[in-house]
Amino acid sequence: MTTTYAVLSEGLEKRFGAVHAVRGLDLAVAEGTVCGVLGPNGAGKTTAVRLLTTLLRPDAGSARIAGHDLVREASAVRRRIGVTGQYASVDGDLTGRQNLRLFARLHRVRGPAERADELLDRFGLTEAADRPASTYSGGMRRRLDLAASLIRRPDVLFLDEPTTGLDPASRNRIWDAVRDLKREGTTVLLTTQYLEEADQLADDIALVDRGRVAHSGSPAQLKALIGTYAEVVVAHADALAKAAAVLDQLTGAEPSFEPERNAVGAVTGDPTLTLPRLVRELDAAGVPLLDASMRPPTLEDVFLRLTDRKEAVA
Amino acid sequence: MSALAYDGTAMLGRQLRRVRNNPALAILTQTMPITMLLFFGYVFGSALAMPGDVYRSYLVPGLLVATAANGIMTGMFQAAQDSHRGVTDRFRTLPMSRAAVPLGQASADLVVTAAGTVPFLLVGLAVGWRIEGSALQATAAVGLLLLFRFACAWVGILLGLASRSEEAAGQLGSATFMLPLLSNAYIPTDRLPGWLRTLAEWNPISAVTTALRYLFGNSPVPEGAAWPVAHPIAGSLAWCATLIAVFAPLAVRRYARGER
């Protein structure tokens, strides 16, 4: 079976004057999957979404969204997508209900009033339906945004940082909504700065850095890319150097220290390096070992390694 | 075209609903000319060579047109507010007519202005202004006034979409109150020095004001004025047609392109 891609872009470029915001973006999102576009601030995530949702015209490159050419068939693309972001929001001067009815009308939905009520109910906004959207809390506002982009059951939903600035409860509601959508067969492309969000929701992750996709794959593949993190805790600080030397010899990777915990660790890609072997080697070298562990790297480790950043974004 | 009509009507409804949800701003902008009529009519009017009631009668059409010219400011402010709020970007991602958003804004503005004209004219009647021509001519005067407002709204929408921020739009917009000062809206232009008179009479506000004064039968077309004032109806129509023909397509294009 061949994969059908809901989003397929090749070499998308966008400049704003001297700023080369997106430089050759290649993205492939299989139909019915959730793709997390992960990257630090300024990596070009938002520009990428604005390009893919017809809000900006690319300077070069091409893309097909739900089978339609992004530039030549922009209005067909617009019929198949939903967009929610810091920019594509709702009208604060209108009530929640008025907003959804308006968007339903603009989408040529039959029975705009019914569709609006249905979505208000689904996102728990019925009680607040007749208040101006400007009086909504951050979480309610984001749910209304999301409802507005689901008016016509889009084939592809773009969510630009859907949970930035939300409290955990509101964030979980949005996450649940995304999972529901995926279950219904909607393809979702979401950008996020939160590694946990990508890990929780995404089938595939595109790590974006400096305007292009630096790496992509499933969270497990990305983690496998950088190997396993072996960490040992020693009885006293004097033993750290000796433990580091053993780790260096076993992994060939530069150890990283956490002196306040008397811990030192290193990443290894060697499948023969197991926990018993690690412990044996350390013991043989006379390291006073208190604890040793081997854990798969977190997305944060991946992020730090693959984007060359000094620190993680979240 | 039917898509534009449908989407435009939806956007007109949106703008009117906004006014209904938050009527304070509309009421404020619509009562402003009444305040100005009373101030100018009684404070300035008492210092002018013209008798007060004659001046107030002269002032009513002038203030109507000056208020219509404020459509630039209102249009700018609303367009800038919308485009920086992000709801405009959602509209851009919808499969709707590209012209519907600015058209809806300009049409809603027209409805609000038409409604605001009624109380203003009632106050005008109370301070001595009368319709001295035929009913048909008076209707034509109101039609011309609204056409001019529509044209000004498009100028404002383009400037609003092109402005960097809401604040910038607000500042530039408030500068438009100067426009009627250099016209015959408040004072006759015939005693201005030559070049200033020419400038004032080529101000579109002057042509439309003269046309209204003529159609309401308040005062005759002045002698020896520049062409748009000497032929006020043709001059007004020409100005409105030019403004709409230039600014409406530019505003729609600017909106559709959407890049700042």
Select from A57, A83, A94 the Cβ nearest to the Cβ of B93. Answer: A83
Given a cut of 90, is residue A156 above it in pLDDT?
A: yes
Residue B187: both structure tokens together = 């004072």
At A76-115, the pLDDT tens digits run 999 999 998 876 688 888 999 999 999 999 988 899 999 9
**Angstroms from A268 CA to nearest CA on chain B:** 46
Interface test with A, best of B93, B96, B112 (most A CBs within 10 A): B93
Q: How many CB pairs under 8 A join A and B?
A: 71
**pTM for this one?**
0.80
**Angstroms from B10 CA to nearest CA on chain A:** 7
At A102, phi and psi to the nearest 5?
-60, -50
- Return mean pLDDT, chain B: 90
* Minimum CA–CA partner of B82 in chain A: A91
* Minimum CA–CA partner of A88 in chain B: B90
Interface test with A, best of B83, B87, B97 (most A CBs within 10 A): B87
Query: What pLDDT does B43 receive?
Result: 87
Query: What pLDDT does B259 receive?
Result: 57
Mean pLDDT, residues A176-184 taken together: 93
Query: What pLDDT does A183 receive?
Result: 94
Mean pLDDT, residues B24-52 taken together: 84
* Partner-chain contact B90 A78, CB within 8 Å: no
Mean pLDDT, residues B216-232 taken together: 91
DSSP conformation class of A95: B
At A18-57, the pLDDT tens digits run 888 999 999 999 999 999 998 888 888 989 999 999 989 9
Query: What pLDDT does B30 receive?
Result: 79
Given a cut of 70, is residue B20 above it in pLDDT?
A: yes
Which residue type occupies B7? D
- Checking B225-232 for CB contacts under 8 A at 24+ apart, the result is B225/B189, B225/B190, B225/B201, B226/B197, B226/B198, B226/B201, B226/B202, B228/B201, B228/B202, B228/B204, B229/B184, B229/B189, B229/B201, B232/B207, B232/B208
CA dist A65 and B186 (Å) reads 58
Select from B14, B18, B92 the Cβ nearest to the Cβ of A55. Answer: B92
pLDDT band at B174 (very low <50, low <70, confident <90, very high): confident
Residues of chain B with a CB closer than 8 angstroms to some CB in chain A: 7, 10, 13-14, 17-18, 21-22, 85-87, 89-96, 257-259
Given a cut of 60, is residue A1 above it in pLDDT?
A: no
**Angstroms from A78 CA to nearest CA on chain B:** 5
Select from A92, A102, A148 the Cβ nearest to the Cβ of B14. Answer: A102
* Partner-chain contact A102 B13, CB within 8 Å: yes
Strands laid side by side in the A34-38 sheet: A81-84, A156-160, A187-192, A34-38, A204-209, A212-217
Strands laid side by side in the A19-30 sheet: A19-30, A5-16, A60-65, A68-69
Interface test with B, best of A87, A155, A161 (most B CBs within 10 A): A87
Strands laid side by side in the A256-258 sheet: A256-258, A263-268, A228-234, A289-295
Residue B165 C-alpha from the chain's centroid = 23
**Angstroms from A253 CA to nearest CA on chain B:** 47
**Angstroms from B15 CA to nearest CA on chain A:** 9
**Angstroms from A17 CA to nearest CA on chain B:** 11
User: Would you say A244 and A231 are in contact if contact means Cβ atoms under 8 Å apart?
Assistant: no
Given a cut of 60, is residue A314 above it in pLDDT?
A: no
- Buried-state track A160-178, b at ≥16 Cβ within 10 A, e below 16: bbbbbebeeebbebbbebb
Given a cut of 90, is residue B216 above it in pLDDT?
A: yes
Select from A78, A83, A91 the Cβ nearest to the Cβ of B95. Answer: A78
* Partner-chain contact A54 B18, CB within 8 Å: no
Mean pLDDT, residues A152-177 taken together: 91
Mean pLDDT, residues A148-174 taken together: 91
Strands A68-69 and A60-65: antiparallel
Which residue type occupies A61? G
> 10 Å Cβ neighbour count for B180?
23
Given a cut of 80, is residue A223 above it in pLDDT?
A: no
Mean pLDDT, residues B20-48 taken together: 85
Given a cut of 50, is residue A313 above it in pLDDT?
A: no
Nearest to A196 by CA among A34, A36, A44, A29: A36
B10: which chain A residues are within 8 Å (Cβ-Cβ)?
102, 105-106
Select from A56, A75, A91 the Cβ nearest to the Cβ of B14. Answer: A91
